[in-house]
Amino acid sequence: MTEHVQGSAGISGSAPSRRDFVAAAGALGLAAGVPSASARAASAAPSATGRRVAVLGGGMAGLTVAHELIERGFQVTVYERKSPGGKARSIPVPGTGTGGRRDLPGEHGFRFFPGFYRNVPDTMRRIPFQGNANGVFDNLVPAPNAIFAQAGRPDLRFTLPSGIGSITPEALRDALMSMASVASQVPLHEIAFWAEKMIVFLTSGELRRNGQWEHMSYADYLRMDRMSPAYRNILVKAFTSTLVAAKENVASTRTITMMVEIFLWTMLGRGADGAPDRVLAGPTNEVWIDPWHTRLVDLGVDFRIGWTITGLDLTGGRITGARVVDPRGTAGTIDADWYVLAVPVERAVPLMTPQLVAVDPALGRLRRLTTDWMNGLMIYLRRPTPITHGHVAYMDAPWAVTSISQAQFWRGDFAARYGDGSVHDVLSLDLSDWDDPGILYGVSARKCTPAQIVDEVLAQVRANLDGGATSVPDAQIHSWFLGPGITDAGLPSVANDEPLLVNTIGSWDDRPEATTRIPNLFLAGDYVRNTINLATMEGANESGRMAANAVLHAAGSNAAPATVFTLYQEPALAGWRRADDLRYRLGLPNAFDLIRPYWP
């Protein structure tokens, strides 16, 4: 599915009726110092070969750009401030490994690979991994079970469906109702209203999605303020703060409902590249990022780790250098033919000088984009504690906590491989709301010390799970690790060095394309327009492919472009979407947007 507005192609035959739809739809190290600006012979024109690419940022997007371009004969250098992988990397807990074991593995947050991801899996298949026929891709394993845990009410447990053979109206309706079946406490008329609003979105064309639903909050779309607490908690918040670190009153309907839509198709087995929910079979670096880095080095990519980008020089309408500070703190300027800015949006914004914005005003609109906090907390346990064989969402946790028990998915003996030999499991948690007060200390996560954050998260987990304190007993807790992006926790100067892009209402209009009006500057990152339209590894990978293709085009390369996979779009609904584009042009509502909620 593309996220760009479709053309006004005619509709063959008569517009489908509602009855028609019901019947038919259904090797790291410091590199040599870069030359100073005075020693550099910068030019506004490409070099003789025109194939030198500076990738500024070595996260998911930057690694993807490097991979695609090095395979096509370009000379690629990656400059990364921290470590390859960026926010996707593993973070070993220093000094925790003894007796020849590795340090305990930490993460920015647990990894989640939905079946609708296609760009990331394609990259993984091209990364060799010993013993795997399909490379790193074979390190993805299904996580079929899930729990919606609720305080004071029974946990909602379910198994993700593995798909059906064909799409029919009945299958579509049943799937929507099955998705809502976990909401057994939601009044039936509210479930029916929710399902109808999903049908409205499924049959909405790109014009309405971009023009109407992009500019309406998810909460308003689903009439959240008029519904029961169970409806708000399960059918609304489950797809906002719990899953994508967004707030339902500021996230756009288009962004969140697209996720509902694609999860639906994935669970129906439509357009999926694997199980609906997959996780890695080991720490991210071990089973993905490190093999990827090794592969790129083998192909010829030059990595400069510990280099910070501080500015972009513009001369004659082109980038003539990127200013950097190396690991020793020495300032310098790098020279290349093509520059791909692949840092996160919060790092890109300070680089957008008035001179750059004057050439391309879209670069100035990056300042309007919003980030929020979503960070990981690892709790290491003395015994295996698999709460379920998949993810857990703690529905009544004010900090929007989700978790997964990781050791059950990892190959080998955890205790024999990591730590001091007494750790047998790690409960990996994501905290998506750092602003609401907790239940233990009565303050937000931003105001808590690291130890208080751990106490609060444990209290919220235990309050939601049926097992309470017995689910994660104190006696089994060995230690914990808070993602290092959080600094000065518990102090007024608390900060987050690795926030997450959030899709606020209307933010699509402020997001840039991979190409810019500066002919040798390209953008890559999850904030760049991509079809998944969400801050994800998949979106970052997709944008990296688009940036690589833009370099190929600008350089006049004869190499085949990188394949860019877009989100699946159900063909059975194509006629409805075309008809809705016409209705939108005429100022009419969606054909199904007629039912109003019933409130007794």
Q: Which residues contact 281 (CB under 8 A, 6 or more apart)?
A: 139, 140, 141, 287, 409, 410, 411
CATH class of 43-81+306-371+500-554: alpha beta
Q: How confident is the model at residue 159 (pLDDT cuts 50, 70, 90)?
A: confident
- More reliable by pLDDT, 248 or 118: 118
Q: How high is the pLDDT of residue 584?
A: 97
* Rounded Cα gap, residues 592 and 544, in angstroms: 37
Q: What percent of the chain has pLDDT over 70?
A: 86
pTM score, two decimals? 0.88
Q: Which of 45-49, 251-255, 415-419, 428-432 has the lowest mean pLDDT?
A: 45-49
Residue 342: which of 199, 73, 542, 149 has the closest Cα?
542
Mean pLDDT, residues 397-401: 93
- More reliable by pLDDT, 374 or 1: 374
3-state secondary structure of 280: strand
Q: How confident is the model at residue 31 (pLDDT cuts 50, 70, 90)?
A: very low
Q: How confident is the model at residue 44 (pLDDT cuts 50, 70, 90)?
A: very low
Q: How high is the pLDDT of residue 241?
A: 66
Q: How high is the pLDDT of residue 308?
A: 97
Amino acid at residue number 388: T
Residue 280 has pLDDT above 70, yes or no: yes
Q: How high is the pLDDT of residue 17?
A: 42
Helix pair angle (537-554, 60-70), 10° resolution: 40
The 3 state secondary structure assigned to 546-564 is HHHHHHHHHCCCCCCCCCC
The residue behind tokens 């009419």 is 588
Mean pLDDT, residues 396-407: 93
Mean pLDDT, residues 417-437: 95
For the chain, domain boundaries: 43-81+306-371+500-554, 88-144+277-282+374-496, 163-268+570-585
Q: How high is the pLDDT of residue 571?
A: 94
Residue 509: which of 268, 241, 215, 295 has the closest Cα?
215
The sign of the dihedral angle between the CA atoms of 199, 201, 205, 208 is positive
* Rounded Cα gap, residues 457 and 461, in angstroms: 6
Kindly report the number of other CB atoms within 10 A of residue 298's CB atom.
11
Mean pLDDT, residues 403-418: 96
Helical ranges in 300-387 per DSSP H: 345-348, 354-359
Q: How high is the pLDDT of residue 173?
A: 59
Q: How high is the pLDDT of residue 364?
A: 97
CB 224 within 8 A of CB 258: no
* Rounded Cα gap, residues 575 and 553, in angstroms: 34
pLDDT digits (tens, 9 = 90+) for 473-494: 999 999 999 999 999 999 999 9
